[in-house]
Amino acid sequence: MKRSRVLLAVGIVLLGLAYILPLWRIELEAPQYPEPIGMFIYVNSLRGIGEHDLENINILNHYIGMKPIEPESIPELRFMPWILAALIGLGGLAFAVPRRWLIAVWIAAIAFAGTLGLYDFDRWEREYGSQLNPNAPIKIEGMTYKPPLIGTKQLLNITAHSYPSWGGWGILAALACGIGAWWQAGRSTRKLSQIGTEPERTTAHPATILSMVILLVFTQLTCAPSPEPIRYGTDECSYCKMTITDRRFGTEVVNKKGKAYKFDSIECMVNMLRSLDSSDVALVLVTDFRMPGTFVDARSAWYVRSTKLPSPMGADLSAYADRTSAETVQRTHGGDVLSWQDVQRYVATLD
């Protein structure tokens, strides 16, 4: 049982480190920030990776209608330390009373707590990204902003990354130590069996169990159509085949299967929409002229047609997140303020 107890001790220490090391890391890349911003999730708190990162994340969230992240409003941060303490205590009991069944209970407790934690984290992200303020400056019909549970996801012009941090990896390693301790305890028991008895049979090899746990941890729970970033100077317009270069006019259509069509202008996108099945279109996006590289919902946006603001393909159309902004620009540059329906009718006359 010596090796089994060593593995148990290592697992208990790894769980203890989760008290002081961050469990999770979320990082956001956005054009307006030269360096990525992000936050660490600890067992009892949230902290920005940089000094002002949490504040900057809340500023980004404000524009798309997401609630501010306030650690004191997240009840899980109050009781997670107690759950972790209980797991450490159960591990200590398995170390003091080395019984194989008790080690199995410890393994099951860690796996259950980890699975429940991931489910709750995914639920929190879903609510956080879908319960949006209807008066947000940027509104896109049908668009939600659930960050990825694990991996990378594009949210408008923001690339979000979400991965376990040192404390999270420590918990997973503690689980692996528990499985190893259980296996070693079984080997010791078989060696002490009477000569002539049947070897003990196990229902599953530990590598199989560990593979199942890793598969559970790394499975992405949701998949929904989302925009792709336009690579200005590289991507080609899906309609006119010109290279997309001006960040003030880029547009995009995403179908329900996630395929993205990218355009260099509003007029190209409107022309392309005529050939697409409207029931298959999930997102129709235009760039807010005042915030190059930032998508807004084309169907709720407002537009200015002005010769003083020429667009790439000659229709002189620029887009804005709200009518007030469009009217402000129109007073400065002249021209007409148009709705989405007006834009569609206007582009149709250019044929």
Based on the fold, state whether residues 68 and 158 are members of the same structural domain: yes
For the chain, the average pLDDT equals: 84
Question: Cα separation of 38 and 170, whole Å?
Answer: 21
Instruction: Kindly state whether residue 31 falls inside one of the protein's structural domains.
Output: yes
Domain range enclosing 342: 251-348
Residues 85 and 176 in one domain: yes
Q: Cβ(173)–Cβ(14) under 8 Å?
A: yes
- Give yes or no for residue 218 having a pLDDT over 50: no
User: Do residues 193 and 265 share a domain?
Assistant: no
Residue 307 has pLDDT above 90, yes or no: yes
End of a domain among 160, 194, 218?
A: 218
Same domain (yes/no): 288, 152: no
Same domain as 209, residue 279: no
Q: Are residues 165 and 293 in the same domain?
A: no
The answer to the question of residue 237 being in a domain is no
On whether both 165 and 58 belong to a single domain, the answer is: yes
Segment 72-84, tens digit of pLDDT: 888 888 889 999 9
* Pair (105, 51) in one structural domain: yes
Same domain (yes/no): 186, 290: no
| Residue 238 included in any domain | no
The last residue of a domain, from among 218, 238, 268: 218
Residue in the structure block whose two tokens are 């992405």: 220
Domains of the chain: total: 2
Q: What is the pLDDT of residues 115-171, one digit of tens each?
A: 998 888 888 888 888 788 877 777 776 667 788 888 888 877 788 899 999 999 999
Residue 192, pLDDT above cutoff 60: no
**In this structure, which long-range contacts are made by residues 96-99, counting pairs with CB atoms below 8 Å and at least 24 apart in sequence?**
98/1, 98/4, 98/5, 98/8, 98/185, 99/185
The answer to whether position 223 is within a domain reads no
pLDDT given at position 124: 85
Most distant pair of Cα atoms in the chain: their distance? 97
* Residue after which a domain boundary falls, among 164, 196, 218: 218
**Rounded average pLDDT over 89-97:** 88
211, 217 Cβ separation under 8 angstroms: no
Within a domain: residue 246?
no
> Any idea which of 82-96, 129-143, 167-181, 224-238 has the lowest mean pLDDT?
129-143
Domain-embedded: residue 236: no
pLDDT per residue as tens digits for the range 235-294? 999 999 999 999 999 999 998 888 889 999 999 999 999 888 888 898 999 999 988 878
Q: At what angle do helices 100-130 and 206-218 cross, to 10 degrees?
A: 10
Instruction: Kindly tell me if the per-residue pLDDT of 182 is higher than 80.
Output: yes
Query: Looking up tokens 């979320």, which residue turns up?
Result: 26
**In this structure, is residue 230 part of a structural domain?**
no
> What average pLDDT score do residues 9-35 get?
87
> Considering the domain boundaries, does residue 44 fall inside one?
yes
- Please indicate, yes or no, whether residues 82 and 40 belong to a single structural domain of this protein: yes
57 and 177 together in one domain: yes
212 and 256 fall within a common domain = no
pLDDT, tens only, 58-70: 888 887 788 888 8
In this predicted structure, the answer to whether residue 347 has a pLDDT above a threshold of 80 is yes
Q: What is the mean pLDDT of residues 308-315?
A: 92
What is the pTM assigned to this prediction? 0.59
